[in-house]
Amino acid sequence: MAFNILIVDDSETMRAVIKRTVGMTGIGVGELLEAGNGKEALEVLADAWIDVVLSDINMPEMGGLELLKTMQEDDVLRNIPVIFISTESSNTRMAEAKELGVAAYVKKPFLPETIKEIMMDVLNKAYASRMDEISAEGGTDQSADEMDF
Amino acid sequence: MDQSIKDKIGESAAEVFSTMYFISVQLLPDLPPQDKWDLDTTYISARIHFTGPVSAVICFFFPGSLARNIAESFLGIEAADVSEKQAVDTMQEAANMVIGTFLGKADPDGACKLGIPTAQYISGFSPAELDSEAESFAFMSEFGYLWMTYSD
């Protein structure tokens, strides 16, 4: 199974670092798309199917918290898990992100193993939740067991 | 400046450069003497501030060769082909991570707010011209000294 991933960061180098790290995780990657801020991310999300968003918080024009808030207000985008990858690691900021519905939080600087662990956990939960929804709609009787990527 | 602030900035810089860029950076107890400066031909200054119960402006001066090496490794291009924009962007993010990591250690409750960093190429950099109102520090790296000023 391959996942489409959107990386949102105003630094081109950091997007490259995250891309390389995601490549090292062994998680099946379909399309790996990029955006330089929250506003650009919403444009990508309007055009492409994305399975998970990896976003910075502190960005010009539209930051990660505003992006998450906007996604939560949309019936479709609210189902896409957002993982924050940021230097902002204060308790206040993390509580704010959690309240807005962030799926997980990774502090920069990060180790590839941390990204792998968190992405697998988030994607497993998202997959299980989606399967539950489909079962509830009567679309299939497929088990919502967690997958190993 | 409190010694613990200096120590935490030193630890943060070492953590960021080793974890993200596999480069060793070490805060020096004193500024190196002028005859040891061995300055790079280009430098990138990256400025970042935080505000709150404690506020400060921090300015890093990174050797151009350090920026090009990191950009080369992560963008997959030759060091000579690294654009000014890419080198500046790289060091801007490094400054953001160092001070963000520092705030995580010094201000875990998040009373201080980190600003958005800015960076630019500078020519003719000399540590002798660093802001005399600010405290100056130097870090040792395989690409030469990195310089930093801290003003509160």
Please give the pLDDT value at position A144: 43
Residue A71, judged by CB atoms within 10 A of its CB (0-12, 13-18, 19+), counts as buried
- At residue A139, does pLDDT exceed 70? no
Contact B71 A107 (CB under 8 A): no
Interface check B75 vs A, CB under 8 A: yes
- Would you say residue A141 lies in a domain? no
CA geometry: angle at B150 spanning B147 and B152, to 5°? 175
Q: Which of residues 125-144 of B touch A (CB under 8 A)?
A: none
Q: What is the total residue count of chain B?
A: 152
- Would you say residue A144 lies in a domain? no
Instruction: Give the residue on B whose Cα is nearest the Cα of A107.
Output: B101
- Would you say residue A16 lies in a domain? yes
Q: What is the pLDDT of residues A24-49, one digit of tens each?
A: 888 889 999 999 999 999 999 999 99
pLDDT tens across the length of chain B (152 residues): 788 899 999 999 999 999 888 899 999 999 988 888 877 778 999 999 999 888 999 999 999 889 888 888 777 788 888 888 888 998 999 999 999 999 988 888 888 888 889 999 998 888 888 888 889 999 999 888 999 999 98
- Would you say residue A149 lies in a domain? no
Nearest-angstrom CA–CA distance, B62 and B83: 16
Nearest-angstrom CA–CA distance, A98 and B15: 26
Q: Give domain B3-30+39-151's CATH superfamily.
A: CheC-like (3.40.1550.10)
CATH of the domain at A128: 3.40.50.2300
Q: For chain A, how many structural domains are there in total?
A: 1
Q: Which domain holds residue A42?
A: 3-136
Tokens at residue B123, please?
């020519």
